[in-house]
Structure 1
Amino acid sequence: MKEGIHPDYNEITVVMSDGTEFKTRSTIDTEDGTFHSEVDSKNHPFYTGNMNYQKKAGRIDRFKERYGQD
């Protein structure tokens, strides 16, 4: 490996949005050694099943709707 081109690899504490904490190693540069996560598997819509899908009509459907053809 080349010298002087790699970021520092330090131990940090990750604090999840629900307050749980764990220690890991990362290249994130934090002043106090703590990373606060805003999203985790307990509040993200993908994991909780609260995703809102919007159905969008395709080009053909929009054309038929606009010009009244069936």
Structure 2
Amino acid sequence: MSNTDFVTSVYTNVAGAAPSGAERDLYVGMLQGGGGTLTQAELLALAANAGLNEQNINVTGLQQSGVDFL
């Protein structure tokens, strides 16, 4: 997957909307091959631990109610 496609996919899943061109370029620039030093896995880890992602998956609600086990 290209860095551009990767960033667009991760950003859309975390933020709930596609990134603007400037936002996309910022994160692509952080990746190896785009001038930065991060791997796709490292950027994914940063996104997974972002406060916006915690809100998106309702971490507080999960702490209070748990996850259903089937």
- Tell me if TM exceeds 0.5: no
Q: TM-score range by the shorter chain?
A: under 0.3
Structure holding more strand per residue: 1
Which structure would you say has the larger Rg?
1
Q: TM-score, normalised by structure 1?
A: 0.25
Q: TM-score, normalised by structure 2?
A: 0.25
Higher relative contact order (CA 8 A, sep 6+): 2
